[in-house]
Structure 1
Amino acid sequence: MPCGGMEDKMDFKINSNVTWVGKIDWELRTFHGEDLSTHRGSSYNSYLVQDEKVALIDTVWEPFADEFINNLKKEIDLSKIDYIIANHGEIDHSGALPALMKEIPDTPIYCTQNGIKSLKGQYHQDWNFVPVRTGDKLNLGKKEIIFIEAPMLHWPDTMFSYLTGDNILFSNDAFGQHYASELMYNDLVNQAELYQEAIKYYANILAPFSKLVGKKINEVLSLNLPIDIICPSHGVIWRKDPIQIVEKYQEWADDYQENQITIIYDTMWNGTRRMAEAIACGIKEVNEDITIKLFNSARSDTNDIITEAFKSKAILVGSPTVNRVVLHSIAGLLGALRGLGFKNKKAAAFGTYGWSGESVKIITEELERAGFEIIDQGIKTLWNPDEDSKQKCEEFGKRIGEILKA
């Protein structure tokens, strides 16, 4: 499906009867509005399955709908598409449906019952919906598509589609990454970049549903379906040892942590920064093996910080007290952490103050609400920390470091 520029040189054929017909979005820098950073762009993966019958699996985001339709027409006469499969109704997957349905209005759309609600709620159209449940099959001729409901991975309507014969799992948002690459496949791209984007995707999108992720993976594996390729809806396709990402998801879903502590702070006049650095020195003095990462939350990407927090045994969060509250970058981060619901992680607070000094108490309470185990009631320093205060911060760090040895 040539469509100009670099994409003319790309291999869109996954195999003899499955073709990638999506869109690579090289320019994307934020997703879910402005909520999620996408430093390496993304892709909206749509797949055309051609057997005796033809099925289109998902579409692309609405801004690329016309381009998608035009390119799809170069691949196939649209009237020959027998079925549309909507694995998930979110508009980055379904955004081209209104334009497509104007071309082939009676084509049945296979999705979950919640998928029908989602698509009707977003597009206000009464298309030819066909609800499916786990185990339902769609016969394409020589092969079948088996549907597997996957609620809350990451919306209530999500499902997987499995193509027999070719042993391909179309996993929608699961196992994806926001990662634009002309190379298309996991064995061709930079592995460090791939896994950086995969764990960031998991930590910021799927982590709240980790218990469901673990159960769903076990359910899929219990079906004993051979999986040779995993085709997600964002990022590259897993064709070499595709189960490697499934195993990573099992690991990440199981209260994941590495031997790391992340120190997060915001600061007005560098006092809280000096506290963070002194605390880090104290930790390292007694716990040489632990990885320590420091982030100024006002100057660092929130989603990158969240990813490091997800990897950590513990986090320390610091802010000065300003107008009886904390600085807004810390307040926003604490709110995000509460929503993500990380498990099996420890935490404590620190901060400077001038007169009222509520920040440590506020941060501690918010961390507790977010499910962190509070391992110290925290430390606060009046004004700019002097040498005595820095020494106290180091001692605080040593206490934390000893706790994290266990």
Structure 2
Amino acid sequence: MGKKITDKVTWVGKIDWELKQFHGNEYSTTKGSSYNSYLIRDKKTVLIDTVWQPYDKEFVKRLKEEIDLKEIDYIIANHSEIDHSGALPELMREIPGTPIYCTANGAKILKGHYHEDWNFVTVKTGDTLDIGESTLTFVEAPMLHWPDSMLTYMSGDNILFSNDAFGQHYATESLYNDMVDPCELNAEALKYYANILTPFSRFVTKKIKEVLDFNLPLNLICTSHGVIWKNNPTQIIEKYLEWADNYQENQITIIYDTMWNATRKMAEAIATGIVMKDPTVTVKLMNSSKEDKNDILTEVFKSKGILIGSPTVNNGYLHSIAGLLEMMKGLKFKKKYAGAFGSYGWSGEAVKLIGEELQKAGFELVKDNHRSLWVPDDTEIEVLKEYGSNIAEQFQYRVEKNNN
């Protein structure tokens, strides 16, 4: 059965406790996720989004237990990605003529996914749908995070159906933000933003300000993944504005991979030097071949600066470092600083190549990257500590310069 949210709105989604990977294997979901679908019963009956394709038959079966499908007057497709639209083919076999409201891009993508010419009704920002006592208002939100993305606002109950915006991959039976661990929730919301929405931060800021200018009352933000924001729902909007504004904390993250622990010893010595110079800075060391890649990228998002280290192998760097550098390029981090380091035996190209890739990814590179020949001895360890101290000073200088 569904879960009533208000007198008119019922949650009819799917909680996926077993989900551990998303977007193929690009995003780790160690806390599971949910696919939130909502049924509105007013004078007209409206279904907002569906669930991921593997649960399509289960979704339609449970929806039939909630309502006679023929009573559904309209379907709103806020986003055509398959985790939201995946049950549409199964549903449309039951109610084939039902109008599907979506953006023009949404109609194109849904046709591209399912090769069906359903009864699409395309809408633009400001278009409305009268459903009785309430009115649905549509707001296009392109690139949050697909070209077709859309928000839907319901008057009366004052609900923003925000789709992927403000969501998290976080499974909970409780549904609401005030019923879960706030630390877990914040961590998952931040991870979601860092790994999915960072490249679109300028669109985030613009769209939020546009929506806020409507001066609409807001009681609930009903996302498509994770919790519904019920207690102080605007708190996540404030977080998004903060995260979208070139977010950084007083943190330096050292990312490395290592073959025989020489580069690991370098990383540890550099970390010691950073803290010696600035005890207030948070330093995190992460082995890219052992740590979750999305957790690493979340720490990069939080950091004012990063250091990346790898030994030289076959005139290059290790593949776990290569994958992270490629992901960083796509995420387009802004106003962050970086350096490179690594051990070598004879050719030693890795440090230079890492530095070049960091610059391509948009990081401002410090001048003195560092290489250590073979395994660092006690003398080299002291040199590395001094290098760490210099890095702390350089990163802080750049932050202060940028802020003035």
* Alignment TM-score, normalising by the size of structure 2: 0.98
1:103-135, CA deviations, whole angstroms, 9 ceiling, x for partnerless residues?
000000000000001100000000000000000
Show CA shifts across 1:245-291 (max 9, x none).
Answer: 00000000000000000000000000000000000000000100000
The aligned counterpart of 1:265 is 256
Percent identical among aligned pairs is 64
Alignment of 1:277-292 (within 5 A): 277-292=268-283
Displacement of 1:375 after TM fit? 1.7
- Where 1:316 maps in the other structure, the secondary structure is strand
Task: After TM superposition, give the deviation of residue 392 of structure 1 in Å.
Answer: 1.3
Give the aligned partner of residue 147 of structure 2: 156
**Aligned residue in 2 for 1:13:** 4
Mapped contact 1:85–1:111 kept (Cα < 8 A): yes
Equivalent positions of 1:264-343 (< 5 A) are 264-343=255-334
2:33 and 2:377 map into 1 onto residues whose CA distance is 47
What SS does the corresponding residue of 2:152 show, helix, strand or coil? Answer: strand
Decide whether the 8 Å contact of 1:287 with 1:405 is kept in 2.
no
> Structure 1 residue 97 and structure 2 residue 108: aligned?
no
2:161 is the counterpart of 1:170: yes
> Superposed, which structure 2 residues align to 1:188-203 within 5 Å?
188-203=179-194
- Confirm or deny that 1:128 pairs with 2:123: no
Aligned ranges for residues 220-239 of structure 1 at < 5 Å? 220-239=211-230
Q: State whether residues 29 and 41 of structure 1, in contact with CA within 8 Å, keep that contact through their aligned partners in structure 2.
A: yes
- 2:335 aligns with 344
| Corresponding residue SS for 2:50 | coil
| Range with bigger deviation, 395-404 or 195-204 | 395-404
Q: Distance in 1 between matches of 2:367 and 2:133?
A: 63
Q: Deviations over 1:216-273 (max 9, x none)?
A: 0000000111111000000010000000000000000000000000000000000000
- The CA distance in 1 between the partners of 2:308 and 2:396, in whole Å, is 20
- How far, CA to CA, are the matches of 2:215 and 2:114 in structure 1? 37
Which residue does the alignment assign to 1:35?
26
Rounded Cα–Cα distance in structure 2 between residues aligned with 1:51 and 1:183 = 25
TM-score by length of 1: 0.97
TM-superposed CA distance for 1:215, in Å, is: 0.4
Instruction: Report the Cα distance in structure 2 between the residues aligned to 1:212 and 1:142, rounded to whole angstroms.
Output: 32
1:265 counterpart letter in structure 2: Y
Count of residues in correspondence between the two structures: 397
Q: More displaced, 368-377 or 217-226?
A: 368-377
1:370 aligned onto 2:380: no
Counterpart residue number, 2:196:
205
- Equivalent in the alignment of 1:112: 103
Please report how far the alpha carbon of residue 196 of structure 1 lies from its aligned counterpart in structure 2 after TM superposition.
Answer: 0.3
Q: Contact 1:350–1:378 at 8 Å: present in 2 too? A: yes
Q: What is the CA deviation profile of residues 343-364 of structure 1, one whole-angstrom value per residue up to 9, with x for unaligned ones?
A: 1100000000111100100110
For 1:358, the equivalent position in structure 2 comes to: 349
1:7 is matched with which residue? none
Give CA deviations for 1:41-78 in whole Å, capped at 9, x if unaligned: 00000000110000000000010001000100111000
**Contact 1:364-1:377 at 8 Å conserved across structures:** no
* Counterpart amino acid of residue 277 in structure 2: V
SS across alignment from 1:241? coil
| In structure 1, C-alpha distance between the alignment counterparts of 2:123 and 2:166, rounded to whole Å | 22
1:318-375 CA-partner distances (Å, limit 9, x unpaired): 0000000100000000000010001110000000011110010011000000000112
Cα RMSD between the aligned structures?
A: 0.7
Q: Which amino acid aligns with 2:204?
A: V
The answer to whether structure 1 residue 26 and structure 2 residue 17 are counterparts is yes
Counterparts of 1:183 and 1:314, CA distance in 2 = 37
Aligned positions of 1:64-103 closer than 5 A: 64-103=55-94
Cα offset for 1:402? 1.5
SS of the counterpart of 1:148? strand
Deviates more, 1:171-180 or 1:391-400: 391-400
Q: Secondary structure at the match of 1:338?
A: helix
Aligned with 1:381: secondary structure? strand
**Structure 1 residue runs of 4 or more that deviate by more than 2 Å after TM superposition:** 403-406
**Residue pair 1:133, 1:147 contacting (<8 A) in 2 also:** yes
Residue 261 of structure 2 aligns to which amino acid in structure 1?
Answer: N
Q: Is the 8 A contact 1:59 1:95 kept in 2?
A: yes
**Alignment match, 1:219:** 210
Within the candidate set 358, 362, 379, 1:388 is matched to 379
Amino acid corresponding to residue 161 of structure 2 in structure 1: F
CA distance in 2: counterparts of 1:260 and 1:226, whole angstroms: 37
Gaps of 5+ in 1: 3-11
